[in-house]
Amino acid sequence: MAKVTLTVNGEARTASVSPETTLLRLLREEFGLTGSKLGCDVGDCGACTVMVDGKSVNSCLMLAVQADGRDVVTIEGLATMERLHPLQQLFEDKGSLQCGFCGPGIIISAKALLDENPDPTEEEIRDALAGNLCRCTGYSKMIEAVRAVARAGRDERTAGSVA
């Protein structure tokens, strides 16, 4: 067994796992964070997307031991009890999801994009979401939601600079 210590959504966590355990299984089965989904399990669908040290990755392709000492953010780390993350709120407002299975991965991919590039072009949004497959709704409303969040951020920054 291998001991893994990492930060998950701001909290220090430790687990003892067999060495071949993926980060996804660690999150879901040891820590009970089932927001990240097991889809294709080979890095094609993006349903398992989480952020590791600020970068989006397929957690099904990363060994848990490779995440030792790293900072992981999952979909569970975005909302507070009082307030959804702006991406979650806009995905809801725009009806961007249908069954929702791909949602956690898509929203994490969008967050990773906006963290680095708060004002992306549509092309950049499409590129950022290309590793996340949705099989029911399609992508237009997701892209609209990400654009809306970016727009809101821009307005906020503009207001801030005026004030």
Partner 1 sequence: MKAFEVVVARNSRHAVALLAERVPTAKVKVIAGGTDLMADLKFAPSSHAPDVVVDISRADDLRHISMTDAGLSIGALVTHTEIMRSPVIRDLFPALLDAAHTIGAVQTRNLGTLGGNLVTAVPSVDSGPTLVALDARVTLLSPAGQRAMPLADFFVGPRKTALKPDELLVDILIPRENLGKPACFLKFGLRKGQALALVNVAASFWVDWDRNVFVAPRIALGAVAPKVIHASSAQAYLEGRAIEPAAMAEAGRLAVGDAKPINDFRASAEYRRDLIAVLSRRALEGAYALAQSKRSGKVAGGLQASRRGER
We find the least distance from the C-beta atom of residue 145 to partner 1, in angstroms, to be 18
Q: Which residue of 5, 14, 16, 18 would you call a contact of partner 1, by CB under 8 A?
A: 18
Looking up tokens 């725009």 gives 94
99 binds partner 1 (CB under 8 A): no
Q: Which residue of 8, 26, 27, 57 would you call a contact of partner 1, by CB under 8 A?
A: 57
Q: How far apart are the first and last CA of the chain?
A: 56
Q: Which residue of 61, 76, 89, 94 would you call a contact of partner 1, by CB under 8 A?
A: 61
Amino acid, single-letter form, for residue 76: E
We find the least distance from the C-beta atom of residue 81 to partner 1, in angstroms, to be 29
| Backbone φ, ψ for residue 90 (5° rounding) | -70, -35
Amino acid, single-letter form, for residue 147: R
Q: Which residue of 92, 93, 115, 127 would you call a contact of partner 1, by CB under 8 A?
A: 127
Which positions ≥6 away from 68 have C-beta within 8 Å? Answer: 4, 5, 6
When the beta carbons of 2 and 84 are compared against partner 1, the nearer one is 2
74 binds partner 1 (CB under 8 A): no
Q: Read off the DSSP letter of residue 134.
A: -
Q: Which of 136, 134, 149, 138 is nearest to 90 (CA)?
A: 149
Alpha-carbon gap, residue 83 to 66, rounded angstroms: 32
When the beta carbons of 9 and 21 are compared against partner 1, the nearer one is 21
- Structural tokens at position 149: 């969040």
Q: Which residue of 75, 78, 97, 112 would you call a contact of partner 1, by CB under 8 A?
A: 112
Amino acid, single-letter form, for residue 154: R
Which positions ≥6 away from 121 have C-beta within 8 Å? Answer: none
Stretch that binds partner 1, among 29-37, 86-94, 125-133, 154-162 (CB under 8 A): 125-133
Which chain residues interact with partner 1 by CB under 8 A? 2, 18-20, 22, 41-44, 46, 49, 55-58, 60-63, 65-66, 109, 112-113, 121, 123, 126-128, 130-132
